[in-house]
Structure 1
Amino acid sequence: MARETLDSLRAEVANATRDLQTAVDALDDAAAEHLGVNRTDLRCLDVLLRAGSARPGELGAELGLTTGSVTALLDRLEKLGYVSRSPDPTDRRKIVVRPTARVQRKAEVLYGPLVESGYRTLAHYSRAELEILLDFLRRSRALQEEQVQRIRAITAAGEPRERKRT
């Protein structure tokens, strides 16, 4: 009986994690739609808002994009007034990309209430519980990253990709 209960609790945690991933995905879709960008552009903005600035090559590496794709992405975001490009003060041959005050304000409107509510939710947990949650989240992220590599390896090995249906 105890084994079934533990197994069912593990299944509940797994299902709740999947539900959380779906909810985060829906939030990202809503934010991207509100900002008028695609999901890759949204990821780029997230990187810039967290870091404060980045070089195009760093963005390409972080997002898994080619140089040409990064240029097109930055052109789109600059046209929307979400990023600025300026010469790197340490090497004027290079460019630094920064989020603008405009996108910072929009991010605060979109994500500020989520952050505040999240902190209120976390206040219900003890230090020991937070350490367990943090461990679970770190392990879950590592698992996801491992699986990304596994799936990419399958693709690289020549497993045929499914074609998008239009």
Structure 2
Amino acid sequence: MSSISSGSARDRRRTVTAIKEALRDLRNQLSLLNHQVGRRLELKDVDLDCLELILKHGAMTPGELARRAGLHPATLTGILDRLQKGGWVTRERDPQAADRRAVTVRPVKDRNAELFGLYSGMNSAMDGLFEGYSEDELALLADFLRRTTALGRTATEELSAD
């Protein structure tokens, strides 16, 4: 009886290891895809990361963006300069803010189609992949990815706190 549970535990470890390895492979492949998208748009990888955060979360202060990206505010200044120069974002002063220097970073909506067009091949391929899964399987995958993302966010925050 012990050998069955030991074999089962070993199988589980192998499966978990395979999932972790597949996630590392996925991270690497998505990083390479993003690098190619950034190259086409003449954006550095970190610039594209910050642009994605702004597009996802909407207008925010540079300080909020620095926290979300885990970057030092001085580093973010250069990134925002490049994004603004490229026509991807605007920086607007907030006339209602107590601090007259307060700025809000906003995405330039006219540029979204250009960015999203570069991901259209991957998105179409994924739509085809999803057709092979049931609604329950898709729900499980979505839950796994959300929870994995949350774990990644926590690990990132812990590392950026140092």
TM-score, with length taken from structure 2: 0.76
1:56 aligns with 2:34: no
Indicate conservation of the 8 Å contact 2:70/2:160, yes or no. Answer: no
Q: Judging changes above 3 Å, is the alpha-carbon distance between structure 1 residues 138 and 87 closer, same or farther for their aligned structure 2 residues? A: same
Deviation at 1:105, TM superposition (A): 2.5
Partner of 1:130: 138
Kept in 2: contact 1:60–1:70 (CA 8 A): yes
Residues 63 and 82 of structure 1, relative CA distance in 2, 3 Å threshold:
same
The structure with higher relative contact order (CA 8 Å, sep 6+) is 2
Superposed displacement of residue 115, structure 1: 2.7
Q: Does 1:65 align with 2:71?
A: yes
2:40 is aligned, of 28, 31, 34, to 34
How far off its partner does 1:151 sit? 5.1
Cα distance in structure 2, aligned partners of 1:7 and 1:60:
37
Percent identity reads 31
For residues 51 and 33 of structure 2, what CA distance do their matches in structure 1 show?
Answer: 15
Q: 2:54 and 2:118 mapped to 1: Cα distance?
A: 16
Q: What is the TM-score when the length of structure 1 is the normalising length?
A: 0.75
Structure 2 partner of 1:161: none
**Structure 1 residue runs without a partner (length 5+):** 157-166
AA of the residue aligned to 1:53: A
1:81·1:102 contact (CA, 8 Å) conserved in 2? no
1: CA distance between counterparts of 2:38 and 2:112? 14
Structure-2 residue corresponding to 1:117: 125
Find the aligned partners of 1:143 and 1:52 in 2 and give their Cα distance.
23
* Counterpart selection for 1:87 from 79, 85, 93: 93
Residue 160 of structure 1 corresponds to none
SS at structure 2 position matched to 1:114? helix
Q: Tell me the SS of whatever aligns to 2:59.
A: coil
Change (3 A) 1:85 1:148: closer
Match of 1:74 in 2: 80
> Is it true that 1:18 corresponds to 2:24 in the alignment?
yes
Decide which moves more: 70-79 or 117-126: 117-126
User: 1: CA distance between counterparts of 2:160 and 2:62?
Assistant: 24
Q: C-alpha root-mean-square deviation of aligned residues, in Å?
A: 2.7
